[in-house]
Structure 1
Amino acid sequence: MKNVPLADVDHVDRAVLPIGTDYPPGHVLDWHEHRRAQFLYGATGVMVVDTDDGTWTVPPERAVLIPAATRHRVRMLGVSTRSLYIEPDAVPWWPGTCTVVDVPPLLRELLLTAVGFEADYSLSGRDGSVADLLLHEIAARAPLPFHVRIPVGADLAALCREYLAAPDTGVTNAVWAARTNLSERAFTRRFRAETGDSPAVWRGRARLLAAVPLLRSGSVSEVGGRLGYASPAAFTAAFTRTFGIPPSRFAQGHRGRPPAEGL
């Protein structure tokens, strides 16, 4: 199924509903939720997924597992998706919070095949076997660290979402503390309690997440400089230490795996 609204097929008696959707650049799917769990794979581009308690950046060749009934928003940056909408009872092992995972070649090809199915595809034979194998492959994926937590408090959450939208290297703990009418010590203590990280560590990780979509159109040197790193080497070291992969893998001009035919 391609470019079919989930609402048109959600009633179909299939545990796994594959749907492929093409989005215009910069399209935002505003806050919503699904009855089913969702496996959201961007066959092209970068996605940024927000929930009430975190932000997940989904680089190329990755996907995000979204739990059923999770309120979320998605920003699509040059994205054509291949999604699976899955009955919660069929995946009791599904994570309780959004999770970014790698999409190796076999899983990618299964997704590309599945979106060609009719909504009421046969459960016996090839189509049903592909749907079953998709769940086995997803269950084997390990989580990747492309996310930051969002504080519970509305004032801290607003600071964090503002920073994610436009990272400012001039922001300090003192600046944020003043905006929340707290002493720097009290602010730091509260921030750590709500996110698990110090404000400085959180901002450093948020800057690196912001680099992922920027690398779609800029070089490692350009993006590192824009985000305040002293040199491309310093940016590369920080990015690799945090995410386990160098930023050059996502940079403009990188020759990675060729796109799947027809995308």
Structure 2
Amino acid sequence: MRNISINQLDDMPRPVVAIGTDYSHGHLLPFHTHRRGQLLYGATGVMRVSTQSGNWVVPPQRAVWIPPGVAHEVLMLGVSTRSLYIEPCTVDLGPKCQVLNVSALLRHLLMEAVDVPLMYDQVGRDGVLINLLLHELTRSAPLPLHIPMPVEGKLLSLCQTFLNMPNTHQSPQHWADQLHISLRTFNRLFRQQTGLSFRQWRQQACVVQALARLAAGEAVTRIALDFGYESPAAFSTMFRRVLGQAPSVWLEPTN
């Protein structure tokens, strides 16, 4: 099915409902939840997904898993999606959102699934296709495109301010001073709240924010300078250290 709300199809007596949707650039889906788990795949464009626990950027031809009942907001940047709405307990992809790599086989299965009849024959060809899709989905590798957010009010505010204007030169001591706590206490608090050290979080936040800006057509040089890097080469080196590949690779189709 295409360009139809899952709310009209949620009670279909099938474990998977596949829907394809085209969005205008900049379209925002405000916070909402689904009874089913959702695999949200962007055939084109970039998606920015937000929940209370963090933010994710989903490059082209990757997907994000959104567990059942998790409130989320999605900003669509030139996106054509293929979504699977999956009955709870059908697959185990974990209780938290995560960006997933999408293999060539999974990509073709997702594209095909939206043309499968809603009441597909579960023991026929279409049922086999859906089952193979679910098997391939469980093999998908998670990608480090998540910015975990703290729950503590003042620290959360500092993190949100940083995301609006990332700066690689901001030090943990600077943040500790703003919170009126010692550096040691700050480092312990930050790791407790986010699961990452401040340096890891700062780098990951810069990388994820950079992907969203690259998708909007901004140059690496502009982004690198805005983030406080001395040169595009220095920024690209950091990017490769975090994600293993150059910035441009993440905006290209997967193999």
**Counterpart for residue 145 of structure 2:** 146
Tell me the SS of whatever aligns to 1:18: strand
Deviations 1:113-158 (A, max 9, x none): 1112232223232221111111011011111111121112132223
2:75 matches 1:75:
yes
> Helix, strand or coil: the match of 1:60?
coil
Partner Cα separation in structure 2 for residue 74 and residue 209 of structure 1: 15
Match of 2:62 in 1: 62
SS in 2 for 1:73: strand
**Distance in 2 between the 1:207 and 1:185 partners?**
24
Offset of 1:59 from its aligned partner? Answer: 1.1
Offset of 1:209 from its aligned partner? 0.9
Equivalent position of 2:163 in the other structure: 164
- Secondary structure class of the residue paired with 1:103: coil
Q: Report the equivalent of 2:15.
A: 15
Question: Which stretches in structure 1 are left out of the alignment for 5+ residues?
Answer: 259-263
Q: Match for 2:78: what amino acid?
A: G
Give 2:126's aligned residue: 127
Residue 226 of structure 1 aligns with an amino acid whose one-letter code is D
Q: How far apart are the structure 2 equivalents of 1:146 and 1:8?
A: 31
Are 1:206 and 2:205 counterparts?
A: yes
* Aligned mates of 2:101, 2:195 — CA distance in 1: 25
**Unaligned stretches of 5+ residues in structure 2:** none
Give the SS at the match of 1:90. coil
Match of 2:239 in 1: 239
SS at match of 1:78: strand
TM-score, L = length of structure 2 = 0.91
Shift of 1:82: 0.5
Do 1:123 and 1:129's aligned partners in 2 also have CA atoms closer than 8 Å?
A: yes
One-letter amino acid of the counterpart of residue 240, structure 1: R
2:79 partner amino acid = V
With 5-14 and 75-84 compared, the bigger mean Cα shift is at 75-84
Deviates more, 1:82-91 or 1:66-75: 66-75
- State the one-letter code of the partner of 1:97: K
What's the secondary structure of 2:89's corresponding residue?
helix
Report if the CA contact (8 A) 2:168-2:203 is conserved: no
TM-score normalised according to structure 1 size: 0.88
After TM superposition, the runs of 4+ consecutive aligned structure 1 residues lying more than 6 A away are none
Q: Secondary structure at the match of 1:47?
A: strand
Match of 2:108 in 1: 109
Aligned equivalents of 2:152, 2:5: Cα separation in 1: 34
Residue number in structure 2 paired with 1:137:
136
Number of equivalences: 254
**What is the alpha-carbon distance in structure 1 between the residues aligned to residue 44 and residue 228 of structure 2?**
28
The 1-side partners of 2:145 and 2:224 are apart by 18
**Once superposed, what is the RMSD of the aligned Cα atoms?**
2.1
1:86 maps to which residue?
Answer: 86
Question: Is contact 1:205–1:242 with CA below 8 Å preserved after alignment?
Answer: yes
How far did 1:177 drift? Answer: 3.3
